[in-house]
Amino acid sequence: MADQIATTEPGTSPDSDLQTTTLDRVVIRFAGDSGDGMQVAGARFTDASAAFGNDLATLPSFPAEIRAPAGTLPGVSSFQVQIADFDILTAGDAPDCLVAMNPAALMKNIADLRPGGTLIVNTEAFDERNLAKAGYEKNPLEDGSLTPFRIIEVPMESLTKEAVKDSGVSGRDVLRSKNFFALGLLAWLFNRPTEPTTDWVEAKFKNKPEVVAANVSAFQAGYNFGITTEAARTTFAVKPATLPPGTYTNVIGNVALAWGLIAAAQAADLPLFFGTYPITPASDVLHELSKHKNFGIKTFQAEDEISAVGSAIGAAFAGNLAVTASSGPGIALKSEGISLAFQAELPMIVLNVQRAGPSTGMPTKPEQSDLLFSMYGRHGESPLPVVAASSPSDAFTTAVEAARIALKYMTPVILLSDNHVANGSEPWRLPDLADLPDISVPFATVPNSDSGFLPYLRDFETFARPWAIPGTPGLEHRLGGLEKEANTGNVSYDPANHQLMTDSRAWKVANIANDIDLLEVDGDGADLLVLGWGSTYGSIRAAVRRLRRAGVSVDQAHLRHLNPFPPNLGQVVRSYEAVLIPEMNSGQLIRLIRADFLVDAVGLNKMSGVPFHISEIEAKVRQMLEVPA
Amino acid sequence: MADQIATTEPGTSPDSDLQTTTLDRVVIRFAGDSGDGMQVAGARFTDASAAFGNDLATLPSFPAEIRAPAGTLPGVSSFQVQIADFDILTAGDAPDCLVAMNPAALMKNIADLRPGGTLIVNTEAFDERNLAKAGYEKNPLEDGSLTPFRIIEVPMESLTKEAVKDSGVSGRDVLRSKNFFALGLLAWLFNRPTEPTTDWVEAKFKNKPEVVAANVSAFQAGYNFGITTEAARTTFAVKPATLPPGTYTNVIGNVALAWGLIAAAQAADLPLFFGTYPITPASDVLHELSKHKNFGIKTFQAEDEISAVGSAIGAAFAGNLAVTASSGPGIALKSEGISLAFQAELPMIVLNVQRAGPSTGMPTKPEQSDLLFSMYGRHGESPLPVVAASSPSDAFTTAVEAARIALKYMTPVILLSDNHVANGSEPWRLPDLADLPDISVPFATVPNSDSGFLPYLRDFETFARPWAIPGTPGLEHRLGGLEKEANTGNVSYDPANHQLMTDSRAWKVANIANDIDLLEVDGDGADLLVLGWGSTYGSIRAAVRRLRRAGVSVDQAHLRHLNPFPPNLGQVVRSYEAVLIPEMNSGQLIRLIRADFLVDAVGLNKMSGVPFHISEIEAKVRQMLEVPA
Amino acid sequence: MTTVQSPTHTRADFQTDQEVRWCPGCGDYTILASVQNFLATLDRPREEFVFVSGIGCSSRFPYYVNTYGVHSIHGRAPAVATGIAATRPDLSVWVVTGDGDALSIGGNHLIHVLRRNVNLKILLFNNQIYGLTKGQYSPTSEEGKRTKSSPAGSIDHPFNPVSLALGSEATFVARTVDMDRSHTTEILAAAYDHQGTAFVEIYQNCNVFNDKAFIQLTGKAERAHNRINLVHGQPIIFGPDNEKAVVLEEGEARIVDAAGVDPGQVLVHDETRPDPSVAFALSRLSHGPYGPTPLGIFRRVSRPTYESLMDAQVAAATAKKGPGDLATLIRSHGTWTVSEDSSADPAPGSPNGSANGNPR
Amino acid sequence: MTTVQSPTHTRADFQTDQEVRWCPGCGDYTILASVQNFLATLDRPREEFVFVSGIGCSSRFPYYVNTYGVHSIHGRAPAVATGIAATRPDLSVWVVTGDGDALSIGGNHLIHVLRRNVNLKILLFNNQIYGLTKGQYSPTSEEGKRTKSSPAGSIDHPFNPVSLALGSEATFVARTVDMDRSHTTEILAAAYDHQGTAFVEIYQNCNVFNDKAFIQLTGKAERAHNRINLVHGQPIIFGPDNEKAVVLEEGEARIVDAAGVDPGQVLVHDETRPDPSVAFALSRLSHGPYGPTPLGIFRRVSRPTYESLMDAQVAAATAKKGPGDLATLIRSHGTWTVSEDSSADPAPGSPNGSANGNPR
Ligand SMILES: Cc1ncc(C[n+]2csc(CCOP(=O)(O)OP(=O)(O)O)c2C)c(N)n1
Ligand SMILES: Cc1ncc(C[n+]2csc(CCOP(=O)(O)OP(=O)(O)O)c2C)c(N)n1
Ligand code: SF4
Ligand code: SF4
Ligand SMILES: [Mg+2]
Ligand SMILES: [Mg+2]
């Protein structure tokens, strides 16, 4: 694999010529039937590596929403993880090691395995039926098509059966432990600690001792299978990464986002209301929040997205930190409601976990194609602040920032994530919660003018209107979607007033630019800037690093705030000879940049539902700079 | 009024020194309570002038949706008409003559009356109560505040009562004829023919002879009041306009649009299905179409907009010319459905009669603020063709064009109108229906490949997929919102396929540029181009004319196609030193122009719910060219 | 607006400075007066009331009531009100809506709020027409009705709002009519007292686009013949001389001559039956205000409110796990520490670590 | 796909080349087989069928039926199907939907299509869970149900789909269960024969997220005790030895010991009653498949279909005014002619010229 560093020493054990190769990083992919527990295996391998101190990044890939029949290609589920002894940013391009639990998994993934990579197959799954289901004419284990790889063939099913026979589990449950057998084998092959996995099993299934027994024995059996059969002539080691000191956890994007909302509510000293309707890939935020009612969280599973956004508007009026979440199709349904929240100038977070569109599209695949929709997806002039999370852990921070803006400026804020951020995971250095900003805003408690309470009397600095909640004596007022008279908030059809209010609302949002961080550019004045937003961060960063290591000078900047832009963005983009904007869409940020700054930026666009490979960005930069690899 | 041409001759009648001033054009505004029948009065005056051969343009202004109590300011309804002896394009800026039926009407409109203009007031409405309701401290008829105007004071109510006493109408119905009294007086003052009005009354109320009698007598009484009292020392005449020869009708935008849809269905040889949910200002299209079921039209008043667009999708699949219509809030609700139609590649027209937003906004006021919403108001990458009507009669033509594109390219098309186009009227030279383009497309009847019917096998030229409707043997197929495999249309999650389909859909729409007229520029290579779209046409055109008459050279172009743009647009805008884009929004077309062509166009933006005044555009151009008035 | 709250109110306390903008003669004025007067009788501070509406003539209501209010978007008032009521049980939340707003575009939210039993008082002003948009037929317009959008007559079979509400698991369902202010007030009081969603259909005259639609129930001559008053615990009899009675036959409610049946057979109204079947049967006595039509409370039963159940879960979770601690939460998936010398020191296994684990 | 239509079909004719992608053991397979087999018994060409669905596991259905089909968007199938059925009465249009698709997000379209009586056959696969999104509670999930989104139990009181349909003026309402294919087929046949909207609730087992939800009606041991078969014209009795009977008491349907009542008292089922009250009462016998639950046709009455009324209006208008003539239409608001010498020659007055006239 491109510029991977390997050092090999003789094995330590006297009665074996086993060697251990130490790598700076390695990419492993677990692939099997959705029934084979590959997500669990991957997550366990990840946690073990995290506990061991590696840096890592993961990329799970689920089958489409519908569960496909066992053994078929659409049924294949996989989980890729990259572990390293330095801070990496993506789950890697091509795997060094592939675990294929059945022919379909092999068929679907083998093309990605790098030549010379290690392939672990569950031989017993390679029978007539499964081969047919996967579309194999001949058995690849026999037709020599796999010679470019180091194959480890394992009769995983009988070995697992054997291993768990005394555990107490029986029937079709027995084979459920297959994934732990595979995991054990990989723990041996990559010299992973075993405790994190066994501990997890014990904690997770504490009420099912037989399951604990089965999984642990399968895990051990896999580990021992490696030792006893010396399944491979070399095992691999990846040293702990030298990450900045701190306490780390391995966090998934949707979970980090849920936690960020909880943190924001605490930082705002407000109760959290989450009104939503389930949709892939946003549902897990609901699932996570509904587990934590002891934080005083109220989750409302509405009858549809229109009700969800409506309930959030009501909750905002009533004095909650109101959040509504969905993905493309559901956000479309919320459009009219968001427009009301904008007109009523109520604080609210609208979370859009983007998936591949249009229409139902490819619900389990990531895409960044809702940026312009976030900017302009409402009738009338209704500009909204838009922020985007760039990685799983960044979702925590971005959620707090979204809440800060919503509350301080009394406006709905669109918070963009995507399937890649939402389901990916990475080590997260836990923040010192004491550093959380105080984002609380005082409710209005007394009239703000001699003529009583003026619900649309704007704050001199922020242009925000006061937030007076029901139950407050003397501040009774009515909000609504009809145009409001400045200050009084009464219905008004006065032409000058409509102009004034339109301008005020626009100005309020534009002015937020003065209250956000300047865009930081990483670099030293190269000729080319790679500008990104959202989940492309990892790929872009890694590509830039790789280019620099290769002596190619290139600068990088990544946007968290899409509207308004950081105030220095124009000056930044104008200061480069060339600006490259990689996006997982057909070119959306680039249209904003061109319209705002008349800069002839270049796009690198991908609409395949698969995140950028580092190499794709690297190649584009090289092409633009005319420096061949 | 600015460059109005007047010639005065002595009156003809021996026993009177009455003079007649002939004007090239005059602007008249009828203003009264919503109960006073001002819309009818205005419409009658308009039709009489049309029949007389003047060119004209009208601008009705209704009170907000809610009917306000009689005599109050919000209750005021007005109708402005400009008549001329040449082809004018707007209802004019400031009226030369104002009819005020009550104090509220006076209060709300007097500021617009040009100094020296004629003011006709119904004195009997100026009592304590009404003055108070209108917010007058003193009676303006007595405090001299009206001296700048030529006032004609008329005790309209008693005169009307007197006039209709033998008609048979009684009670509060009597005063309903007030508006015809006023109309009669104006007919005299502006030397209008009386037959069109009396004919209309007779036709309209043929089953209510007493109403005919009342209205006709009131009308005559008003006319005679002018003669006998010589209410003004001069009357005014406006000669017939020298319009191109042909048969004309005075058409309202929403009606022309409905007729355009009927014409399109005939030109496509398809049944017309119109699925909608009432909303101002789009409802009148439903009202008009539902009157003409004998054209085989099926109108469906759905339970909401989501059902409306859904029904249109079903009707399109079933083989109809399917149309769904709404205004901003309703279009927002249709967004998810439109995205399905886009993904399913079904032909459909989505009519958006824009109103002032955001949210409920100002439903009875015009605005152009849904352009970017039309472009980007859907999740995922879902570009749609967008066309816009620029005047009431143009709505007919644009509707046919929208249908042509939808059917030929198998795509939903967004058809933009607005309150100004929809409720305004203008003389329309009736087209020769034989000239209607044949926009019919053949349904698929036989399989298009050896492997059977491929619903997504694209036409080589248009990239359109075939349209096979239920009932056709052997072409059974399934459409849906999940990503489709090229050709087969089966569900596909294949990365390369998603890229291909995304590109194909985008290319299909972009390619329409080669099938639309080039943008025509009116001018002779001036330094400045005024570029517009939609209902601003009249104001821009008039301003450009006025500037040219004043010796200022300026070019003009107006867009019907907003997506894709005419292929020569880039070259056109790049060829000017300055490009001015007036829009009734905060700058939407201009963002598209800047992003596409990196041209530093300048915007003139108005968000007051009132159309541009000619003078506003004129002033902006003068400022840009630095030629003071 | 800062007037100190007096223990008891007058109607004026619930009026705003906004000019009321309905057509002269509109039934909405009457209902507004009934509601304002009723609110004034409650010894409850103004700021504890919230009126939420959608879009329509009726939905202008909140602008005229000097409490907190939201004039939301078309059909969505129940959703907005749910967000308020669910998070603020201390408030009295009212929904004002129309037949188009509640039953056409808003139908889904209505049926769901009814089944959830959110503590809302829903006043549905049913004028059997779209008033605000100037006169199209609505889901309660009679078949064959000629309107702007149905010049040849409506072909839609209308809803019976009471039947629909009962089919949606409503716990409180009533019907009244604008002109009868004392009856309206009775119903408002009962709705206010009800714990849960109270659904009140109010027949309201639109004198501009659907005048006299309810004449059978409001006309001097007609009303005595057509008003079937439902009174809890009372036999259901009506008519100028109580000559008509309602009985249950074969599981259906039927109108008979009182004389023809022995008094014991006459159906005695019981709003509190757990089974809604009889209430439903009563709702089928009429399918609109065209003949004998029941007015009053069809059903009034108790079921826990949505917000009480929501609060109970929060309380239970807190009792069980203690108030949430963020620092603990973010460590709950297992942690490890990287110290200065950057050697990793593994933490104990991480329970609950498979947020994207295998669903089987 | 170009096979020539044989007068009668086999199931295979209605299968597509698409691999069926439900979880092994899912009840959807059984229903698919029942439907395909039923279609094959009809002597009707494939191309005259259209299957329209929303989103959900159940909504994948159209991909597996070799007819015309639309896999639309979540909850909107009734709307899409209305556009098809209303304009193409020659087709047989079916809607396949789930408890979330039809009753949660799609509730509004469902109740309106039922009242309009559009000629659609609606198959609601009720598995009391959101299957496709991996197991959240649905509007038919029982209170207290623990799911991903309700770890402490659902607090929503569920709908009774049959009650809701009856409250929505449905003309045909039935319930069956996936496992009983012959009963399912009977119901499908009746639905197919019905002119208008046929609403069929099909209890469907989701063995992954809500396994055994219907065991009371499908389990060998349980079903005899809990299946109440509604058969037109038959007394409603059930139980292993027909020891249970349904009677009407005080307007409510109640279960009693057959022995305890004389046979004449037992309710004889009549699907055709114009008044839906008894059908509604029967729907209240159970509030989910937890005990004795009626299966069969609750209501089957005739009312003109929406499309027949629509066509009638078109026909009437054409008969009255003759087929529309565009040239006449665009001249209908009055015209005038400008001739070469540009003198205007007025046309007779323009009737109908006040499209924006005064509404009073
Ligand atoms: C999304 C949306 N669709 C349509 C409308 C237009 N609209 C406003 S009110 C209304 C119906 C009003 O009827 P109803 O609810 O019965 O109230 P009423 O005016 O009769 O009191 C309609 C169709 C709108 N404002 N928003
Ligand atoms: C607008 C929109 N919101 C949400 C979703 C996500 N979603 C898809 S199916 C579904 C519910 C499925 O439940 P049900 O209708 O009962 O069908 P089942 O899978 O149980 O057969 C949801 C919430 C979506 N696809 N579109
Ligand atoms: S239109 Fe009807 S409902 Fe609306 S205000 Fe006027 S009378 Fe009342
Ligand atoms: S999730 Fe449930 S409903 Fe969906 S396919 Fe699997 S078993 Fe069937
Ligand atoms: Mg109404
Ligand atoms: Mg379900």
Min distance D135 CA to chain B CA atoms (Å): 21
What is the full DSSP assignment across B352-384? Answer: EEE-B-STTBBTTS---TTHHHHHH-SSSS---
Q: What is the pLDDT of residue D355?
A: 28
Chain A residues lying within 8 Å of C55, measured CB to CB: 481
Pocket flag, ligand 4, residue D57 (CB < 6 Å):
yes
Q: Of A279, A284, A287, A307, which is best to mutate to test ligand 2, by the most ligand atoms within 8 angstroms of its C-beta? A: A279
Pocket flag, ligand 3, residue C41 (CB < 6 Å):
no
In chain D, residues 288-327 whose CB comes closer than 8 Å to chain C: 303, 306, 309-310, 313, 316-317
What spacing in Å lies between the alpha carbon of D98 and ligand 6's midpoint?
Answer: 5
Q: Is A383 at the interface with chain C, CB within 8 A? A: no
| Chains contacting chain D through 3 or more C-beta pairs under 8 A | A, B, C
What is the per-residue pLDDT across A527-559, written as a single tens digit (0 to 9) for each? 999 999 999 999 999 999 999 999 999 999 999
Pocket flag, ligand 3, residue C172 (CB < 6 Å):
no
What is the per-residue pLDDT across A134-159, written as a single tens digit (0 to 9) for each? 999 999 998 888 988 889 989 999 89
Q: What is the pLDDT of residue B86?
A: 84
Q: What is the pLDDT of residue B10?
A: 57
What is the per-residue pLDDT across B588-604, written as a single tens digit (0 to 9) for each? 999 999 999 999 999 99
Which ipTM score applies to this complex? Answer: 0.92
For residues A310-334, average pLDDT = 98
Under 8 Å CB pairs connecting chains C and D tally to 144
What is the per-residue pLDDT across A58-94, written as a single tens digit (0 to 9) for each? 888 887 655 677 888 888 999 999 998 888 888 888 8
Pocket flag, ligand 3, residue C22 (CB < 6 Å):
yes
Mutation target among B307, B336, B436, B446 for the D interface, most CBs of D within 10 A: B307
Chain B residues lying within 8 Å of D318, measured CB to CB: 293-294, 296
**Closest residue in C to B65 (Cα–Cα):** C132
Is residue D2 scored above 60 in pLDDT?
Answer: no
Residue C216 has φ and ψ, to the nearest 5°, of -60, -25
Q: What is the pLDDT of residue B287?
A: 98
Mutation target among D111, D149, D209 for the A interface, most CBs of A within 10 A: D149
Q: Can you tell me the distance from the alpha carbon of C122 to that of C132, in angstroms, rounded to the nearest whole number?
A: 20
Min distance D176 CA to chain B CA atoms (Å): 27
- DSSP annotation of B555 reads E
First to last CA, chain B: 15
In chain C, residues 198-217 whose CB comes closer than 8 Å to chain D: 208-209
What is the per-residue pLDDT across D78-112, written as a single tens digit (0 to 9) for each? 999 999 999 999 999 999 999 999 999 999 999 99
Please tell me which residue, B207 or D53, carries the higher pLDDT value.
D53
What spacing in Å lies between the alpha carbon of D125 and ligand 6's midpoint?
Answer: 7
Pocket flag, ligand 1, residue C136 (CB < 6 Å):
no
Least confident among A126-140, A229-243, B152-166, B295-309: A229-243
What is the per-residue pLDDT across B383-428, written as a single tens digit (0 to 9) for each? 999 999 999 999 999 999 999 999 999 999 999 999 999 999 999 9
**Closest residue in B to A353 (Cα–Cα):** B379
Is residue B50 scored above 90 in pLDDT?
Answer: no
For residues D217-226, average pLDDT = 96
Chain B residues lying within 8 Å of C79, measured CB to CB: none
What is the per-residue pLDDT across D201-216, written as a single tens digit (0 to 9) for each? 999 999 999 999 999 9
Helix axes B305-317, B328-344, angle to 10 degrees: 30
Q: What is the pLDDT of residue B9?
A: 66
Kindly list the distances between the CA atom of residue B461 and the CA atoms of B508, B512, B518, B564, in Å, as whole numbers in the listed order.
9, 10, 19, 17
Q: Which of B340, B359, B381 is nearest residue A481 as measured by Cβ atoms?
A: B359
What is the per-residue pLDDT across A116-132, written as a single tens digit (0 to 9) for each? 889 999 999 999 999 99
Q: Which of B278, B299, B304 is nearest residue C130 as measured by Cβ atoms?
A: B278
Q: Of C71, C101, C124, C127, which is best to mutate to test ligand 1, by the most ligand atoms within 8 angstroms of its C-beta? A: C101
How large a percentage of chain A has pLDDT more than 70?
97
Q: Can you tell me the distance from the alpha carbon of D247 to that of D234, in angstroms, rounded to the nearest whole number?
A: 13
Mean pLDDT of chain A: 93
Kindly list the averaged pLDDT for each block of 10 residues, start to end, along chain C of length 360. Answer: 58 92 92 98 97 97 98 98 98 98 98 98 98 96 97 98 98 98 98 98 96 96 97 98 97 97 96 98 96 98 98 97 96 86 40 26
The Cα diameter of chain D in Å comes to: 101
**pTM for the complete prediction?**
0.91
In chain D, residues 28-87 whose CB comes closer than 8 Å to chain C: none
In sequence order, the 6+-apart residues with CB closer than 8 A to the CB of A85 are A24, A25, A54, A55, A238, A239, A240, A241, A242
In chain B, residues 457-486 whose CB comes closer than 8 Å to chain D: 470-482
**Closest residue in B to A589 (Cα–Cα):** B595
What is the per-residue pLDDT across B522-553, written as a single tens digit (0 to 9) for each? 998 899 999 999 999 999 999 999 999 999 99
Q: Is B490 at the interface with chain D, CB within 8 A? A: yes
Mark yes or no for CB contact B359/A344 under 8 Å.
yes
pLDDT band at B348 (very low <50, low <70, confident <90, very high): very high
How large a percentage of chain D has pLDDT more than 70?
92
Mark yes or no for CB contact A474/C338 under 8 Å.
no
Atom of ligand 2 nearest to the CA of D102: 15
For residues A612-622, average pLDDT = 96
Chain B residues lying within 8 Å of A591, measured CB to CB: 595
Q: What is the pLDDT of residue B75?
A: 86
Torsion angle of C-alpha atoms B308, B310, B311, B313, degrees rounded to 10: 130
Q: Which of D112, D116, D277 is nearest residue C252 as measured by Cβ atoms?
A: D277
What is the per-residue pLDDT across D7-49, written as a single tens digit (0 to 9) for each? 579 999 999 999 888 988 999 999 999 999 999 999 999 999 9
Residues facing residue B519 across a β-bridge: none
Residues facing residue B556 across a β-bridge: B522, B530
Min distance C76 CA to chain D CA atoms (Å): 12
Nearest Cα residue to atom 6 of ligand 3: C23
Chain B residues lying within 8 Å of C158, measured CB to CB: none
Q: What is the pLDDT of residue B535?
A: 97
**Closest residue in C to A432 (Cα–Cα):** C327
Q: Is D314 at the interface with chain B, CB within 8 A? A: yes
Residues near ion ligand 5 (CB < 5 Å) are C 98-99, 127
For residues A320-341, average pLDDT = 98
| Chains contacting chain A through 3 or more C-beta pairs under 8 A | B, C, D
Q: Phi/psi zone of residue A191: left (φ > 0), alpha (ψ -120 to 50 degrees), beta?
A: left
Chain B residues lying within 8 Å of A354, measured CB to CB: 379
Q: Can you tell me the distance from the alpha carbon of A520 to that of A153, in angstroms, rounded to the nearest whole number?
A: 50
Q: Burial letters for B377-389: b for 16+ Cβ neighbours within 10 Å, e otherwise?
A: bbbbbbbbbbbbb
| Chains contacting chain B through 3 or more C-beta pairs under 8 A | A, C, D
Mutation target among A34, A39, A62, A67 for the D interface, most CBs of D within 10 A: A67
For residues A100-129, average pLDDT = 92
Q: Which of C73, C343, C354 is nearest residue A240 as measured by Cβ atoms?
A: C343
Under 8 Å CB pairs connecting chains A and C tally to 307
Mean pLDDT of chain B: 93
Looking at residue A16, its amino acid is S
Structure tokens at B97: 């003559």
Q: What is the pLDDT of residue B13?
A: 52
Nearest alpha-carbon partner for C73 in B370, B326, A382, A336: A336
Q: What is the pLDDT of residue B15?
A: 57
Q: What is the pLDDT of residue C269?
A: 98
Q: What angle do CA A573, A577, A580 make, to 5 degrees?
A: 65
What is the per-residue pLDDT across A431-473, written as a single tens digit (0 to 9) for each? 999 999 999 999 999 999 999 999 999 999 999 999 999 999 9
Q: Of B279, B303, B309, which is best to mutate to test ligand 1, by the most ligand atoms within 8 angstroms of its C-beta? A: B279
Instruction: Write the burial class of residue B251 (CB in 10 Å: 0-12 exposed, 13-18 middle, 19+ buried).
Output: buried
Under 8 Å CB pairs connecting chains B and D tally to 303
Is residue B443 scored above 90 in pLDDT?
Answer: yes
Kindly list the distances between the CA atom of residue A569 and the CA atoms of A415, A541, A566, B601, D215, in Å, as whole numbers in the listed order.
20, 19, 6, 21, 63
Mark yes or no for CB contact C91/A266 under 8 Å.
no
Mark yes or no for CB contact A273/C83 under 8 Å.
yes
Q: Burial letters for A215-241: b for 16+ Cβ neighbours within 10 Å, e otherwise?
A: bbbbbbbbbebbeeebbbebbbbbbbb
Structure tokens at A601: 């930026």
Instruction: Write the burial class of residue A440 (CB in 10 Å: 0-12 exposed, 13-18 middle, 19+ buried).
Output: middle
For residues D327-343, average pLDDT = 82
Q: Which of A378, A586, A598 is nearest residue B373 as measured by Cβ atoms?
A: A378
